[in-house]
Structure 1
Amino acid sequence: MSDEGSYELLGFDNVLLPVGDLGEAVAFYERAGFTVGFRFDEGGIALLKVGAETPGILLQAEEQLGHRSPPWPSARIWLEVPDARAAARELAAAGIAPLDEVAQAATGWTVEIADPWGNVLGFTDYTKRPELGRRGQGLSFGSPASPA
């Protein structure tokens, strides 16, 4: 773009995920440890909080969308957690199966899940490279942020 038409990327606003049934989606994500920031059924949307950040994951009802397996390849949203292996255990206890076994990454561990509409979310930690993670923010999986 020209200098007159240039723009600056300031950060994320929200990530939108299409879901076939808003109530079912909210229940799934609450089981997965997310907190609902708001829900507007008339508009077919609900916002899931992600840590202490203002942007979140916006579930958007698409009535014609049925249950499906995750498409391959598909976009993935990865979220930082203190311990991905603990997150995988908590997800399994809530009846949410991982797409694959917990795997090692260069920075720590990661595990992915898919919602009933094929949206893939990953949970990753920085246990091998804590200097790259969100240290000292008091964030924990499945609970709102608390002061450090």
Structure 2
Amino acid sequence: MSDDESYELLGFDNVLLSVGDLDEAVAFYGRAGFDVAFHLDEVGIALLKVGKETPGLLLRLEDELRHRPPGWATARVWLEVRDARSAARALAAAGVQSADPPFSVATGWTVEFADPWGNVIGLTDYTKRPELARTP
């Protein structure tokens, strides 16, 4: 890019996830521990809060989208938590099945789960690298 066409990436706005049933998706993510910032049936969207940040997970209704398993090459959204192994236990207690048990990553642990439409969410911690964590 030339200097007059450059831009600076400032951060995330929202991460959009397509779902086939907005009420079902809001209920699913509620069981997974997400709070709803707003739910607008008239335009087919709901925003899920992610911590104290303004951006969140934006659920968008796609009428023709059916339940499907996640594909191996599916993009993933990972969100920071204090303890991914505790999060995995809380997900299981709420009836949200994770793809695998928590697994070790360079910064700590991660657990992944998929919604009924194949969107994959990871909950990851920084227990091995606490200096990089948002929280102490």
Pair in the same fold by TM > 0.5? yes
- What letter corresponds to residue 48 of structure 2 in structure 1? L
Residue matched to 2:63: 63
Residue matched to 1:75: 75
Does 2:25 align with 1:46? no
Residue matched to 1:130: 130
Question: What is the distance in 2 between the residues matched to 1:107 and 1:36?
Answer: 28
Residue matched to 1:31: 31
- Give the number of equivalent residue pairs: 136
> What aligned pairs does 1:79-94 form with structure 2 within 5 A after superposition?
79-94=79-94
The normalised TM-score by structure 2 is 0.98
1:99 counterpart SS class: coil
What's the CA shift for 1:135?
2.2
Unaligned runs of 5+ in 2: none
- What letter corresponds to residue 78 of structure 2 in structure 1? W
Question: What is the distance in 2 between the residues matched to 1:119 and 1:128?
Answer: 27
Question: What is the distance in 1 between the residues matched to 2:63 and 2:23?
Answer: 12
Question: What is the distance in 1 between the residues matched to 2:124 and 2:12?
Answer: 19
**Given that residues 107 and 128 in structure 2 are in contact (C-alpha distance below 8 angstroms), is that contact kept between their aligned partners in structure 1?**
yes
Unaligned runs of 5+ in 1: 137-148
Q: Report the RMSD for the aligned CA atoms in angstroms.
A: 0.7
- What letter corresponds to residue 125 of structure 1 in structure 2? D
Question: What is the distance in 2 between the residues matched to 1:119 and 1:135?
Answer: 26
Question: What is the distance in 1 between the residues matched to 2:6 and 2:107?
Answer: 34
The normalised TM-score by structure 1 is 0.90
- What letter corresponds to residue 52 of structure 1 in structure 2? K
